[in-house]
Amino acid sequence: MSSAETPTPRGPVDSSRIPRYAGPATYARLPRLDEVGGRTDIAVVGVPFDTGVSYRPGARFGGNAIREASRLLRPYNPAQDASPFALAQVADAGDIAANPFNINEAVETIEAAADDLLGTGARMMTLGGDHTIALPLLRSVAKKHGPVALLHFDAHLDTWDTYFGAEYTHGTPFRRAVEEGILDTEALSHVGTRGPLYGKQDLTDDEKLGFGIVTSADVYRRGADEVADQLRQRIGDRPLYISIDIDCLDPAHAPGTGTPEAGGMTSRELLEILRGLSSCNLVSADVVEVAPAYDHAEITAVAASHTAYELTTIMSRQIAASREETTA
């Protein structure tokens, strides 16, 4: 497509004219999908679903809490020297309506809705919801790209087998994904892992599935830059999916979550690692497990809104770069 045919993206509401606290919240005050003709380069979509949790519920309210907390985001991202909402069209695609009383049906609904969005050519920036939703999202992404590299930021492994006999839960999505062959097992990493496990076997099982682990202590000792370099080398130019459980952060940085664990990363470390991955081929991403009932002063929702902002910036820079390549 020539640049003449590329419409100028419609950006966020101008906060110097309409106070940022006015009006209904979309992510970053961006237009809704219907306001940009149903087509967008990046679709920010909520998944208000938390039937898969093993402890505190409430992540069903996470997406809207992140939208509310994102009102203060500004259009230029100095850390990546980019204006993400000008480089590509980013729009808020609303919520996927998943059945709260039937996990299997919800998983199917989420996959079908993701198929529709990805089918339009959009990349997805999903706001959860509990971590169960990563499985149907990965299924859909793999239909489009083949098995993808996965970076999984989380206190937890989420590669357990079942809970109370249920195979789709927030503790099991990545075991299911490996079993289903939708992940590229040469490039799977957990980042921010910590906390008690059921037994040592959890680690053996996880390693057998193909995962490497960067613990939160590793991040502290080695620093964000070195960790990002190492991850980038492992990922190479593979299509990459990033799944961020906000409980990768220390409860001091993200109290509003369902299964908090002490000793986590700071939000500065998380944002810096993501910035260090800006050259990766990020095809879609999620930020999950924000449970606003346990939040204070929007600490968690603000961290999540900035996390999604860095991810969106990575994607929009790549979209702009590949557009330039095809017009050159």
Ligand X SMILES: N=C(N)NCCCC(=O)O
Give binding residues for Mn(2+) as ranges. 131, 154, 156, 158, 245, 247
- What are the structure tokens assigned to 134, written together? 């990563």
Nearest distance from C-beta of residue 136 to ligand X, angstroms: 15
In a 13 Å sphere around the CA of 43, the CA atoms on its Cβ side amount to: 27
Residues 109-138 that bind Zn ion (CB under 5 A): 131
Using CB under 5 A, which of 41, 95, 158, 286 touches Zn ion? 158
Among 239, 192, 234, CA closest to 213 = 192
What torsion do the CA atoms of 157, 158, 162, 166 make, to the nearest 10 degrees?
Answer: 160
Print the binding letters for residues 175-214 with ligand X: x by CB under 6 A, - otherwise.
Answer: ----------------------------------------
- What are the structure tokens assigned to 311, written together? 């991810």
Using CB under 6 A, which of 247, 269, 272, 295 touches ligand X? 247
d(CA 215, CA 153): 10
Query: What interhelical angle do 267-275 and 299-327 show, nearest 10?
Result: 10
Residue length of the chain: 328
Q: Is 250 in the site for ligand X (CB under 6 A)?
A: no
Nearest distance from C-beta of residue 52 to Zn ion, angstroms: 10
Using CB under 6 A, which of 60, 139, 170, 253 touches ligand X? 170
Using CB under 6 A, which of 60, 123, 131, 176 touches ligand X? 131
Q: Is 247 in the site for Zn ion (CB under 5 A)?
A: yes
Residues 70-89 that bind Zn ion (CB under 5 A): none
DSSP 303: H
Nearest distance from C-beta of residue 135 to ligand X, angstroms: 12
253 binds, among ligand X, Zn ion, none (CB under 5 to 8 A by kind): none
310 binds, among ligand X, Zn ion, none (CB under 5 to 8 A by kind): none
The answer to whether the beta carbons of residues 243 and 290 sit under 8 Å apart is no
DSSP 43: E
The answer to whether the beta carbons of residues 25 and 73 sit under 8 Å apart is no
Nearer to ligand X, 95 or 158 (CB): 158
Among 9, 29, 26, 27, CA closest to 18 = 29
Residue numbers at the binding site for Zn ion (CB under 5 A): 131, 154-156, 158, 245, 247
Interface residues with ligand X (CB under 6 A) are 54-55, 131, 156, 158, 170-171, 245, 247, 258-259, 289
